[in-house]
Chain A
Amino acid sequence: MNDGAYKVTVAKDLEDLIPTFMKNRRKELDNLRIALAAQDLEQLRQLGHRMKGVGVSYGFERVSTLGKTIEDGARSGDRASLEATIAKYDDYLAKVQVAFE
Chain B
Amino acid sequence: MSDLADAARMTGTAFRVLVVDDDPDMAAFLARLLTGEGMAAETAGDAEAAIASLSLQPPDMILLDVMLPGADGFTLCERLKSAPASAMIPIVLVTALEDQESRVRGIRAGADDFLSKPVRREELIARVKTLQRLHETRRELEARRLAAEIQHKETLRKAFARYVSPRLAETIIADLVEDGTPFQREPQRVSVVALFADLRGFTRLTEATRVDEVVGMLNEYFEVITDAAYRHEGTIFSMAGDCLLVGFNVPFAQADAAERACRAAQDMVAGFAPVLASWTARGGAPTGVGVGIASGEAILGNIGSPHYMSHTIIGDAVNTAARLMQMAQPSELLLARPVYESVRGTLDSQRVRFKGQVALRGRSGTIEVYSVTL
What residues of chain A have their CB less than 8 Å away from a CB belonging to chain B? 11, 13-14, 17, 20-21, 24, 46, 49-50, 52-58, 64
Contact = CB atoms under 8 A, between A and B. Distances in A.
A21 B25 contact: yes
Contacts of B25: 17, 20-21, 24, 54, 58
A56 B36 contact: no
Contacts of B24: 20, 24
A53 B36 contact: no
A20 B29 CA distance: 11
Contacts of A11: 121
B28 A17 contact: yes
A14 B118 contact: no
Contacts of A13: 32, 36
Interface string B16-47: 00000001111011001000100000000000
B125 interface: no
Given A11-B121, A24-B24, A54 B96 contact: no
23 contacts: A11-B121, A13-B32, A13-B36, A14-B29, A14-B32, A17-B25, A17-B29, A24-B25, A49-B67, A52-B117, A53-B26, A53-B117, A53-B118, A53-B119, A54-B25, A54-B26, A54-B29, A55-B118, A57-B26, A57-B29, A57-B117, A57-B120, A58-B25
B23 A53 contact: yes
Contacts of A49: 67, 96
- Interface size grouping (class) on chain B: 10 to 19
A50 B23 contact: yes
Contacts of B26: 50, 53-54, 57
A76 B6 CA distance: 50
A57 B29 CA distance: 8
Nearest to A53: B117
Given A24-B25, A53-B118, A58-B25, 12 more contacts: A11-B121, A17-B32, A46-B67, A49-B67, A52-B96, A52-B117, A53-B26, A54-B23, A57-B118, A57-B119, A57-B120, A64-B118
Which of A14, A24, A54, A55 has most chain B Cβ within 10 Å? A54
A57 B121 CA distance: 8
Nearest to A22: B25
Nearest to B24: A24
A75 to B, nearest CB: 13
A30 B77 CA distance: 33
B92 to A, nearest CB: 15
Which of B32, B117, B118, B119 has most chain A Cβ within 10 Å? B118
Contacts of B117: 52-53, 57
A49 to B, nearest CB: 7
A58 B36 contact: no
B68 to A, nearest CB: 12
Contacts of B121: 11
A58 B120 CA distance: 9
Q: Would you list the 9 A-B pairs with minimal beta carbon distance, nearest first?
A: A53-B117, A56-B118, A57-B118, A57-B119, A54-B26, A54-B25, A21-B25, A57-B29, A17-B28
